[in-house]
Structure 1
């Protein structure tokens, strides 16, 4: 087991990977640096290996697939995840690591948005998207993570070994943030100095398609982790819709004793039934969710017991 593991997912980062590995090696000489190559065609793996990194491979395309592989294969007291594009500063990694090792923080978020991100990033829709995602998650899940989609984070052992990776692509950061909020993990933010990609290095993130995937992920996770809120909103919407069309029918009936829009009344009845069904679906799923939370706490306990056993064997 490593004390500190630096995890770098890479896809065609030959222009920057040597500097990233060298910078983090300088700041954390005691750390083991893992570069996980995701089907690069520009020699990223060889450059990383020559720079002193341990190079491994994930052949399923997508950042989420790479992170699933990294988290499963690497055991460490503290994990640092950073992109291989040289946009994140290595000189702030010690502060992030110390929070995990000394303060038992489960996830340290490298917060770009509170510093230079909006000045450095030349893609305005990325800026808008980051603000939208941050606002949505902090509103829906009632938290205050400063940067939801940052690729620079530090994790504890218990976070990594209990995080179920479901996303395949760049929406993985959103999933991490919501998992930490929902499972009451200890989260802290560290403001970092962000810089845009150097000349010749291209982002793999598509503003529109990946942005849409992130929003879909937020909706999916809100349905999973807050079922009463999700289905309760649908129930309320359907109830209001039924009332809007039913009230004029009632008024007409009170005045004339007639129901001229009989089909509309029938539709209102079915919409009301759908509203009631949605409400009870949310109630049932909330009960299932609460049971899953109890099971997670027991899994967390078992994970930490195994971790202590591994540490004790290592000490012997």
Structure 2
């Protein structure tokens, strides 16, 4: 039976000296002693404070939260990973709720839902609207409602992490993790957590418009391999609309004023043909993807049956 000794608490940090000590102590109080702080080269005392409070400290070789998380996974051997921000906005007391589905083998990835219990003022109105927009976009593009895909408090099995193909450098890492869960059909649960305001002494590294744009681009980019019909179809429809608009304009000019726009007519025709081809390609890609997923699902079932037979034979 897995225990909390099998869990590594992963804390990506950058200039979190005001809160990191209390965060680490909080997890130690929850009997989670294996704490890894991956630091992005803080110019305050984050690294020293982390070490003084009993955490293992690694300075990342690059920059950005996404790069830090990907590099940290290479330093973790524990079968379970609990990822949390080091700014004091998440409660260590919620660790049990996040880990329980993993330790009981009910899920391979657990996301903490900040909106279930959010302290007043913990999130600005702009960030709240942005989160809602991004979650709605995720549901539309990738077909799953994870409620809070940008949550930085989540737990996952080492086995599921090894299936992910992560490339995000910055704050898009949470989005990428969520998309990979859908892509690889990883069993995912959502649990309510408490989200609190940042301590007065700390400053956020988040830039709402820049990082929000990056996250939306990450959602769209990853649709190429997870929902190709949407990825190629959206461009194809845009091309069809543009070509149809140009064709309509050329037709009106020809019939009402006798003016021919040969170049515009050619461009419009190319746009229409291009749009139709993209829609066809997106449809075919979607069919191939569904067939691949069905084959992988059958393969997983065969492997599960083999494991069950091996366990029964040992007994």
TM-score tier, shorter chain, comes to 0.7 to 0.9
Instruction: Report the secondary structure of 1:112's partner residue.
Output: strand
Unmatched segments (≥5 aa) in structure 1: 305-316
Instruction: Report the counterpart of residue 37 of structure 1 in structure 2.
Output: 39
| Cα displacement (A) at 1:142 | 1.5
Instruction: Report the secondary structure of 1:208's partner residue.
Output: helix
Instruction: Report the counterpart of residue 277 of structure 2 in structure 1.
Output: 277
8 Å Cα contact 2:253/2:259 also seen in 1: yes
Is 2:29 the counterpart of 1:26? yes
Instruction: Report the counterpart of residue 181 of structure 1 in structure 2.
Output: 182
Q: Distance in 2 between matches of 1:231 and 1:97?
A: 38
Instruction: Report the counterpart of residue 209 of structure 2 in structure 1.
Output: 208
8 Å Cα contact 2:79/2:159 also seen in 1: no
TM-score when normalising by structure 2: 0.84
Q: How does 1:108-147 map to 2 (within 5 A)?
A: 108-116=110-118, 119-147=120-148
Q: Distance in 2 between matches of 1:295 and 1:79?
A: 29
Aligned match of 1:68 in 70, 76, 92?
70
| Cα displacement (A) at 1:249 | 6.6
Higher deviation after alignment, 64-73 or 221-230: 221-230
Q: Distance in 2 between matches of 1:167 and 1:224?
A: 15
| Cα displacement (A) at 1:54 | 1.4
Question: Residue 154 and residue 235 in structure 1: after superposition, are their counterparts in 2 closer, same or farther (change >3 A)?
Answer: same
Instruction: Report the secondary structure of 1:265's partner residue.
Output: helix
Aligned match of 2:9 in 6, 10, 14?
6
| Cα displacement (A) at 1:238 | 2.5
Q: Distance in 1 between matches of 2:287 and 2:204?
A: 42
Is 2:20 the counterpart of 1:17? yes
| Cα displacement (A) at 1:204 | 0.8
8 Å Cα contact 1:9/1:66 also seen in 2: yes
Question: Residue 268 and residue 122 in structure 1: after superposition, are their counterparts in 2 closer, same or farther (change >3 A)?
Answer: closer
Q: What is the number of residues matched between the two proteins?
A: 299
| Cα displacement (A) at 1:77 | 2.1
| Cα displacement (A) at 1:66 | 0.8
Is 2:172 the counterpart of 1:166? no
8 Å Cα contact 1:222/1:230 also seen in 2: yes
Q: Distance in 2 between matches of 1:204 and 1:251?
A: 53
Output one character per residue of 1:90-140: Cα deviation in whole Å (capped at 9) or x when no partner: 1111121111010341111111022215x3325322112111111110122
Q: How does 1:269-308 map to 2 (within 5 A)?
A: 269-283=269-283, 285-286=285-286, 289=289
RMSD: 2.9
Higher deviation after alignment, 288-297 or 104-113: 288-297
Instruction: Report the secondary structure of 1:234's partner residue.
Output: helix
| Cα displacement (A) at 1:171 | 0.9
Question: Residue 60 and residue 280 in structure 1: after superposition, are their counterparts in 2 closer, same or farther (change >3 A)?
Answer: same
8 Å Cα contact 1:77/1:101 also seen in 2: no
| Cα displacement (A) at 1:157 | 1.7
Q: Distance in 1 between matches of 2:295 and 2:178?
A: 20
Higher deviation after alignment, 158-167 or 284-293: 284-293
8 Å Cα contact 1:114/1:146 also seen in 2: no
Q: Distance in 2 between matches of 1:296 and 1:201?
A: 46
Aligned match of 1:100 in 74, 99, 102?
102
Question: Residue 248 and residue 61 in structure 1: after superposition, are their counterparts in 2 closer, same or farther (change >3 A)?
Answer: closer
Question: Residue 71 and residue 290 in structure 1: after superposition, are their counterparts in 2 closer, same or farther (change >3 A)?
Answer: farther
